[in-house]
Amino acid sequence: MILTLDMVLNHLTQIFKGFKAYATENNFECDIINTYNHPYLSKITAASSNIIALKFDGTENLFDHNSRAGAFYENALEFSVNFQVYIIAIVLNAQDFDANSRMLVLYSMLSNFLHNKAHKYTLESKSQPEYIRKINLYIYPISNMQTVGLINLGTKYSNHAYSASVAFNASVKAIEILKEEYEIAARYN
């Protein structure tokens, strides 16, 4: 296989960790967690009171071998990964009236970070050193933001938080190219 699902999920997590750095540059603190359960049912131990939780939901077209538009490539793989993003702002104390506002600011920053951006990677394989894999990830929302309102949530800060969720899709395109062909093409581009 050109690319494993685990590799894609690791790259998605890295992209969202890049968002954490982006938020820090814009003077906003947040933590990124990857959860296998619904985050409202989990004990959250994040260091920040602003949290983005990722929950993998499934794939589309992973086993449809004739569905890729790039069929002229010998080694191409195109599929989608569906996942939920939960934006959680923990209420710190009874006087914390801006938790809902923090949740909305975090959503707005995430929207700006992901807007019209392709995440591109070039990977080399240790098992097949003669090949290079070019991977493009396009992340976009497939639902509107669903606000839940004030919820009970077990954290080290408090038992209350404001939360919203958005369904996302990451379209994945992976192409495996012979390394020498890639180097020749790079010289002329």
Per residue in 46-63, pLDDT tens? 778 888 999 999 888 777
Give the pTM: 0.82
- For residue 103, give both structure tokens: 């949740």
Which residues, including other chains, have CB under 8 Å from residue 74's CB and lie 6 or more apart? 176
Nearest residue to 156 via CA among 36, 47, 28:
47
Domain that holds residue 82: 5-188
Burial per residue of 151-183, b for 16 or more beta-carbon CB atoms within 10 angstroms, e otherwise:
eebebebbebbbbbbbebbbbbbbbbbeeeeee
**Amino acid 59: pLDDT:** 86
Instruction: Give the pLDDT confidence of 116-173 residue by residue, as tens digits.
Output: 888 888 888 777 788 888 889 999 999 999 988 888 777 666 778 888 999 999 999 8
The number of distinct structural domains making up the chain is 1
- Looking at residue 17, the DSSP 8-state letter turns out to be H
Given phi > 0 = left and psi -120 to 50 = alpha, else beta, which region is 27?
left
Measured CA angle at 18 (ends 90, 163), to 5 deg: 25
Instruction: Give the pLDDT confidence of 70-127 residue by residue, as tens digits.
Output: 444 457 788 899 999 999 888 877 777 788 899 999 999 999 999 888 888 888 877 7
Strand ranges, E, within the chain: 31-34, 50-60, 76-90, 118-124, 131-141, 146-152, 160-178
Give Cα 125 distance to the centre of its chain: 23
**Amino acid 64: pLDDT:** 65
Nearest residue to 70 via CA among 23, 2, 125:
2
Per DSSP bridges, beta strands 50-60 and 31-34 are: parallel
